[in-house]
Amino acid sequence: MMTYLVNSTLCSGLLLAAYHLLLKNKAMYNFNRFYLLAGIMLSLLAPLIVVRHNIAPFASIVPIQTKIVTESRFVSATPITPELPSAEPIDYRLYSCVLIYAVITFLLIFRLIRNLYSIHLTLVRHKKISFEDARLVLIEQNLTPHTFLNYIFLNEGDYYQKRIEAEVLRHELAHARQWHSIDIILVELVQAVFWFNPFLFLYRKNIRVNHEFIADAAALHKDNVAAYQNLLISKAAQLQSLSITSQFNYSITKKRLIMMTKTTSGTTAWLTRLAIVPVIAAAFMLFCTKTKAQQKSLSNKKNSVIQSSAKTAKTDKKVLVTTGNWVRLSSSDYPSTKDGISGALMDEYIANEKKYTRYQDVSKIMTKPEEQRMEYLYQQMSRAQQKNRTIFFEYPPPPLKGGTVSRSELESWSNPLVYGIWVDGKRIKNSELKNRRPNEFNKIFFSRLTDIAVKHDKFHYQVDLMTLQYYKKYREDAIVNKHNSMIVFHMKS
């Protein structure tokens, strides 16, 4: 969650910086409106989008399966009762932060609902008149003309005495026709939930000022700019309306007066739009969630001695399922503690072991929080507590050294009833080996299938070959991931 919040905030900041550098001073207001709203949505959604990068599998798991079973045995030991560590104190800071967040969010949403209800009461209690694409709401209060959805609120006396200028009506009518209030409500809702993001305040301000640029352009269509500017200044002292409405005298700034006289050529506008594309692409790539999903293991037989589980893509860890003798790969390197965990925590860990290994069935998918919890508990165990676990964690084995293949070996694997051939993780026909040269390959992975697997796959031995380039990539990935935990499910044979 914290990662999402940080990425969302940084993404919104990057897109807002691009707006100030490339778009803010351009008279392309409708595009700017779309960009600002899209910037908010992208900053909220980009961190939720998962982009998976396929990496080469740890193919070294397959060839060493026989070695693991025959040479590397884990000797069962008498369980040792761990010392009970003292109870950890409760950290109330998290609860305090959640409470503060909830209170502030509630107050902001309550304020928005109160403002909407106030507008609803005004609509119910006052006279309404149809006016072009909008409706005029005549009120007694001496407030500046303002718009919400397609309702334009005007002082009743000024309206009947014709003291409301045509430019003011055109300005407010532009707000109503383009439904600027929807933008404001959307930003208010996002800001109520993500109020800790400082960039949302700036988004809100820029969106509202851009609304005024759009409405000013509509009011100035056939009028003198200087006269309109003087009209704006003369209205500056009038009372403001609710913050979620669009009012005529909102943000009477030098910038707004300058933008009335500014134009942007079509060429400049298109070049600016094109310049925004790489910014959006960069924001997406920088702040989306990236995961490494391993490709299918070179040996994916459901009943082989060691196999990759479908859980791999879910957990971004290498997952092994082993049967028969106990397996250890690099236990001396894996974290542990001297005192271990309490009996209650050990019971919690064992309960998850039973849940996912009973009946030799690991078809149930362990959730990410459960896996992270088990990994944490396992790393807090002592060496004695880590022994004989049916679910445990290890570091992957180091990459194997490269080997050579002879022509006679390639020819000996031609019978499909005896051998199944994989090249770079993909099944090929045995006959295709006739067209391959021995020096194309750098490593052989040879494994014998169990009797059940033979009945299913119709061959007895699986041969996995790596090309030179594939082996290079495999070795690089194995080195990069050497300290990434690997979860192992050990089944009783």
pTM for the whole structure:
0.52
Q: Is residue 293 a contact partner of residue 52, using CB atoms and an 8 Å limit? A: yes
Q: How far lies 395's CA from each of 212, 315, 340, 434, in Å?
A: 60, 15, 20, 38
> What is the per-residue pLDDT for 303?
36
Residue count of the chain, please give it.
493
| CA gap 156, 63 in Å, rounded | 87
Q: Is residue 13 a contact partner of residue 46, using CB atoms and an 8 Å limit? A: no
| CA gap 276, 272 in Å, rounded | 6
Locate the domains of the chain by residue range. 93-263
Pairing of strands 441-448, 419-423: unpaired
Name residue, tokens 């309306």.
241
Q: Is 281 exposed, middle or buried (0-12, 13-18, 19+ CB in 10 A)?
A: exposed
> What is the per-residue pLDDT for 19?
92
Residue 384: name the closest of 336, 322, 324 by CA: 336
| CA gap 121, 13 in Å, rounded | 38
Q: Is 408 exposed, middle or buried (0-12, 13-18, 19+ CB in 10 A)?
A: exposed
Name residue, tokens 């009797």.
451
CB atoms within 10 A of CB 66: 14
Which pLDDT tens digits describe the chain residue by residue (493 residues)?
778 888 889 999 999 999 999 988 888 889 999 999 999 999 999 888 876 655 444 433 333 333 333 233 333 333 334 444 445 566 678 788 889 989 999 999 999 999 899 999 989 888 889 888 889 999 888 888 888 888 999 888 888 888 888 888 888 898 988 899 999 999 999 999 999 899 999 999 999 889 988 888 888 865 678 788 777 777 766 656 666 777 665 666 677 777 887 888 888 989 998 999 999 999 888 888 765 554 444 334 333 333 333 333 333 445 555 554 444 544 557 888 999 999 999 999 988 888 877 655 555 667 888 888 998 999 999 988 988 888 888 888 777 777 788 888 888 888 888 899 989 888 999 988 888 888 888 767 777 777 777 777 788 888 888 888 888 888 888 888 777 788 887 765 4
> What is the per-residue pLDDT for 285?
85
> What is the per-residue pLDDT for 444?
72
